[in-house]
Amino acid sequence: MASASEIPSFEKCQLKATTVRERNELMFNNEILSDVHFMVGKDKVRIPGHKYVLAISSPVFFAMFYGRMAEQGSDVAVSDSEVECFMELLRFIYTDEAILTLDNALGVLYLAEKYMLPVLAAKCINYVEASLNPENVLTVLSHARYLGKEELQKRCWEVIDTYTTQVLESEAFLELEIETLSLLVQRNTISVKEIQMFKAINSWSENECLRQGIKPISDNKRTVSSQAMKFIRFPLMTPLEFADEVARSGMLSYEETTNIFLYFFSTRETELQFSKIPRKPRETLLKKTLRCSRFKSCCGNDWFCDTRKCDALKFMVNRSVHIKGIAVYGASKLEGDYTASVQLLKQTKVLADGERIFSSGTSALLHDVLFDRPYLVDKNEVYTINLMLQGPCSQSGRDGFSSVETEGVTFTFIEYTSPNGTSASAGQIPEIIFQL
């Protein structure tokens, strides 16, 4: 019940509410006129509600309060929701709005399905789809499978197919349930080397053993991962990869290991239980390629290309984008051959790398050096691009911009002088190649 002191202030608010929506919003999380309370979460936090408002919004609440099997008491236990998620459900019912975040969107989606609120469910799905990245996609996929959301599952698989390596390195991968893990490993369209997949499952198996309270020895790891392990395409590994990583791990039986070695080295045909058909990664689903050009002008001064020193550039973006690679300057005076190696780092961790050998004349200003696959970088995080360029002296840029906006994406360059001299204001790495 509302206290006597609350009623005068409520009456003042009533006078300011000029629409039905505004008047309804006054009742959100309000004890005044409340005739039901929800005991939410493990701590049973008490949240007020109004049966009439809830019932006209949700068939489930209507049946709960006014149906033939209506609840008799005024307290309703909600043990399957966090308080924040349930509050956003109520906020939507009272105001047609919900404050969604990465932390609560999946929980709100679950409640929207439970209480049959399709408009709220659609809002949650749209928010989650727009927020998908390699770090959260497996968590979203598990919820989408549980709720039977096929379109959301499809979008999750697209992200997994495109960024398989990053997905395997995510924390969520270690917490994946075996059924979803098996679906992932058997996909034909993921972009990953088989040795990377094996290493990831080996790590998952160790974590799963610890979760089940058993020792992470090879026999136990093989047992917990067998449902997924059978889909790894071991014959596509190199003999050295198989010998050093798989055979030594004890994750396969003696017979399985022997048969694969026979496949590698025997002149006779060997019967295998593992597929030897290469995967066919889907073509990138990203949008058109864009370029962030960071110099006002280029000068023909000789820029020394020395593989003992790297050119580097530190940058941030104001929204998540997929970094494909960079452009580098070519020869300044003498034509020649170049070997370029590029890395994308966050602090000291290498996130992506790529190499290119090219010939450059003085008329060819820029040459693209791409990563093996695009890498999704997060907004407002500092990343570093390292370039090792070997060849004749190159051209260089000058009068660098401190920030550049391209198609709504703002790149901010952080002042830092690299070992070979490139900085935010001058040097190599004139362009960053990216996709939205």
Mean pLDDT, rounded, of the chain: 90
Structure confidence at residue 287 (pLDDT): 62
pLDDT of amino acid 431: 97
- The number of beta carbons lying within 10 Å of the beta carbon of residue 199 is 16
Q: Buried b vs exposed e over 214-228: b needs ≥16 C-beta within 10 Å?
A: eeeeeebbbebbeeb
Per-residue pLDDT, 224: 97
Q: Can you give the pLDDT at residue 17?
A: 64
Q: How confident is the model over 57-80, as a mean pLDDT?
A: 89
Model pLDDT, residue 23: 84
User: H or E segment at 30?
Assistant: none
pLDDT number for residue 372: 79
* Mean pLDDT to the nearest integer, 148-167: 91
CA distance 317 to 311: 20
Instruction: Dump pLDDT digits (tens) for 347-393.
Output: 998 888 889 888 876 556 789 898 877 888 989 999 999 999 998 88
Q: Name which of 63, 58, 35, 76 is nearest 114 in CA terms.
A: 58
Q: What percent of the chain has pLDDT above 70?
A: 93
pLDDT digits (tens, 9 = 90+) for 113-156: 999 999 999 999 988 988 888 889 999 999 999 999 999 999 99
Question: Which stretches of 229-294 are assigned E, i.e. beta strand?
Answer: 290-293
By C-alpha distance, which of 373, 259, 56, 42 is closest to 247? 259
pLDDT of residue 318 exceeding 60, the answer is yes
- Phi and psi, residue 382, nearest 5°: -90, 125
For residue 9, pLDDT over 80 is answered with no
SS3 label, residue 293: strand
Q: pLDDT for 180-232, tens place per residue?
A: 999 999 999 999 999 999 999 999 999 999 999 999 999 999 999 999 999 99
Once rounded to an integer, what is the mean pLDDT over residues 61-75?
85
Q: How far is the CA of 375 from the CAs of 251, 322, 344, 433, 434, in angstroms?
A: 31, 5, 9, 11, 9
Q: 26 vs 199, which has greater pLDDT?
A: 199
268-276: which pairs have CB atoms within 8 A and are 24 or more residues apart? 272/235, 273/230, 274/230, 274/232, 274/233, 274/234, 274/235, 275/231, 275/233, 275/235, 276/233, 276/235, 276/236
Q: What is the pLDDT of residue 268?
A: 87
pLDDT of residue 21: 81
- Determine the pLDDT at residue 10: 59
Say what the pLDDT of residue 138 is: 97
Task: Kindly give the pairing relationship between strand 394-400 and strand 295-303.
Answer: antiparallel
Q: Which residue has the tokens 């493990």?
A: 42
Q: pLDDT tens across 229-243, in order?
A: 999 999 999 999 999
